[in-house]
Amino acid sequence: MRALPIGPVMIDLEGPELSPLDREKISHPNTGALILFARNYDNPEQAQALTKAIRDTRKGDILIAVDQEGGRVQRFQNGFTRLPPAAAYALQPELAEAAGWLMAAEILAVDVDFSFAPVLDVDCGVSEIIGNRSFSKDADQAAELTAAFRRGMRSAGMAATGKHFPGHGAVALDSHLTLPVDTRPLAEIHSKDLLPFQRLIAQGLEAIMPAHVVYPEVDTLPAGFSKIWLQQILRTELGFDGAIFSDDLSMEGAAGVGDFLDRARLAQQAGCDMLLVCNNPSAAEKVLDKLPVTQNSDRDRRLRAMLGRHQFDRHTLFKTEKWQNISAQLHQLMEAYA
């Protein structure tokens, strides 16, 4: 039997083990990825058993992801190093690359391919949802620190995803709950918010996640549904050839463009390679069943580059002097930042 290719839809699970319905959805030809949340995690052994079950069920390549930024956004905690928020690395810039390596090595050791990181948003001091998830309020420093964090991830065997293109740091509202609008002109966004994206794209950034934010000076559609942002600016002007992951289509910031199938179609037409449908099982089932099953060699190439390449099991990793030193330094940084 021929192995299933990586499909264009990322789904989630309701609990820490696979249900019969989970197995059915994982086996759907449109499924390509699965994101794990805190509700799916108990301890590292359970996580490793879960990822094995997912891969055994798929009978083909599937991407497994998690949000493991640090600070407020760290889904795996018990048995994992507690990571400081991204803003803390401005206190010790030399730790950014080491932290990227440790985060990636720990995640890869339980057979999760990648974390949606780093956050490339420049903090403008107003965002409820970004805040200290940003590496800096200074665009140049944000670019330097995120590049270092990505180098660490890459050295551990993990691809990086820069988010939230073209920048979520200048809007106060949370796109999980509403649709933020950023009224600044493109020239201002270009000179500040796009700088970290430009720098990391030039260095080979593997993936990008666009924001559920409207920039009316550029387009009336949120960036993740906009051909202007994704095709004209990101692909053509910035020369990005990596994977584009939509942000979660269940967020209120996506609701204005239609029902879930409309959202999935519009995001795909705009240029998203992977469509996230999370925290709404019936919506995920509808998108899987109604979205046409298609083959796309460019999409497949971009998504396959996100597969993780782990170098250590957990037992071996924790015995390395490198992990022990970095873990201790991150603990000290957490205390200093607090």
For residue range 136-151, list pLDDT tens digits in order: 999 999 999 999 999 9
Quote the pLDDT of residue 175: 62
Q: Mean pLDDT across the stretch 181-192?
A: 94
Give me the pLDDT at residue 2, please. 58
Q: Region 39-52: what's the mean pLDDT?
A: 98
**pLDDT band at 338; cut points 50, 70, 90:** confident
Instruction: Give the HSE-up count for residue 71: Cα atoms under 13 Å, Cβ half-sphere.
Output: 19
DSSP string, 140-170: HHHHHHHHHHHHHHHHHT---EEEEET--TT
176 pLDDT higher than 70: no
Tell me what percent of the residues of the chain surpass a pLDDT of 70: 97
What digits encode the pLDDT tens for the residues 287-335? 999 999 988 999 999 999 999 999 999 999 999 999 999 999 999 999 9
Residue 200 has pLDDT above 80, yes or no: yes
* Between residues 180 and 302, the one the model is more confident about: 302
Residue range 102-112: mean pLDDT, rounded = 98
The mean pLDDT value for 6-22 works out to: 96
Instruction: Report how far apart, in Å, the C-alpha atoms of 294 and of each of 30, 76, 138, 290 are.
Output: 8, 34, 42, 12
Percentage of the chain surpassing pLDDT 90? 87
pTM above 0.85, yes or no: yes
Q: Which residues form the catalytic set?
A: 176, 247
Q: What pLDDT score does 178 carry?
A: 77
Q: Give the residue with greater pLDDT, 254 vs 34.
A: 34
CA distance 260 to 38: 24
The pLDDT value given to residue 335: 92
Distance CA 219, CA 233 (A): 12
CA angle 171, 34, 61 (to 5 degrees): 130
Average pLDDT over residues 171-185: 81
Q: What does the pLDDT average to over 113-142?
A: 94
Encoded tokens for 328: 């201790």
CATH, range 9-337: 3.20.20.300
CA gap 161, 273 in Å, rounded: 13
pLDDT band of 122, cuts 50, 70, 90: very high
pLDDT at 45 exceeding the cut of 70: yes
Going by their DSSP bridges, the two strands 207-210 and 161-165 should be labelled as: parallel
Q: Phi then psi for 218, rounded to 5 degrees?
A: -115, -45
- Quick check: 197 pLDDT over 80? yes
**pLDDT at residue 63, rounded to an integer:** 98
Half-sphere exposure of 314 (CA within 13 A, CB side): 13
For residue 256, report the phi and psi dihedrals to the nearest 5 degrees: -70, -15
pLDDT class for 53, splitting at 50, 70, 90?
very high
- 1 pLDDT more than 60: no
133 vs 174: which has the higher pLDDT: 133
Q: What pLDDT, on a 0 to 100 scale, did the predictor assign at position 255? A: 66
Note the pLDDT tens digit of each residue in 230-284. 999 999 999 999 999 999 998 665 667 778 999 999 999 999 999 999 999 999 9
Q: What is the reported pLDDT for 152?
A: 98
The Cα–Cα gap between 109 and 189 comes to: 38
